[in-house]
A and B are shown apart, each in its own frame.
Chain A
Amino acid sequence: QKEVEQNSGPLSVPEGAIASLNCTYSDRGSQSFFWYRQYSGKSPELIMSIYSNGDKEDGRFTAQLNKASQYVSLLIRDSQPSDSATYLCAVFDGTASKLTFGTGTRLQVTL
């Protein structure tokens, strides 16, 4: 069973701080990794995709991938209350041709 692990949280950070969200995965052969944001009652929204080791930046978001450690993270700089949501880590299972999702980390950005 291929697994994606996330801390369920809630992760509470003050406004303006950096939020760090972490994810580990079990399938060493995985090549594609994604972060989705899901607000309560809404569907997931793609924030970042990353395929190569290292960092990938997009605005206030940075995804970090370390395939040797089977670890992917998402950093949110200058966190805003509107960033409060559940963040889902997803890993593409090439064998089954589908995404495996973590259970999500709930982020709370406090004023």
Chain B
Amino acid sequence: GAVVSQHPSRVICKSGTSVKIECRSLDFQATTMFWYRQFPKQSLMLMATSNEGSKATYEQGVEKDKFLINHASLTLSTLTVTSAHPEDSSFYICSARDFRLTGAFLTDTQYFGPGTRLTVL
């Protein structure tokens, strides 16, 4: 399958600082990437859809000014958590949409990055 990387894998920061997380599709181009958040023992929660060259689409209840998303190229999307607070501590996971023609079949598959564990002190 396709490979998606995330950096950093783990970050600890002080309250009030901003943290940038990178998501890269390594062996395919992704016009669409997604950012999720997952709290312990809870389900994945979609935060926003990141589209290359255009503004991200945020899910209801997600503050776009707090979670800045930039998708400047077909292989890179970044999520910046601005003025992070302890309640922002979570597991942030990106995924990239791989849309390709395989033989006679058109497949549309999402592959996840390994995630970034954010701890805000």
Contacts and interface: CB of A to CB of B under 8 A. Distances in A.
A92 interface: yes
A97 B105 CA distance: 19
A103 to B, nearest CB: 5
A49 B46 CA distance: 20
B8 to A, nearest CB: 14
A34 B49 contact: no
Main secondary structure of the interface of B (DSSP, over half): strand
Contact of B43 (A46, A49, A51, A101): A101
A42 interface: yes
Interface in A63-107: 88, 90, 92, 97-99, 101, 103-104
B114 A98 contact: no
A45 interface: yes
Interface residues of B, number: 19
Contacts of B44: 44, 88, 101
B32 A44 contact: no
Nearest to B1: A46
Given A43-B115, A92-B108, A104 B46 contact: no
A46 B32 contact: no
Nearest to A94: B108
Contacts of A90: 110
Contacts of B110: 34, 46, 90, 99
Given A42-B114, A46-B1, A98 B46 contact: yes
Interface of A: 32, 34, 36, 41-46, 49, 51, 88, 90, 92, 97-99, 101, 103-104
18 contacts: A34-B110, A36-B112, A42-B114, A43-B112, A43-B113, A43-B114, A43-B115, A44-B112, A46-B1, A46-B112, A51-B107, A88-B44, A90-B110, A98-B34, A98-B46, A99-B34, A99-B110, A103-B43
- Give me the 10 closest cross-chain CB pairs, A-B, nearest first: A43-B115, A43-B112, A43-B93, A103-B43, A44-B112, A43-B114, A101-B44, A49-B109, A99-B110, A46-B1
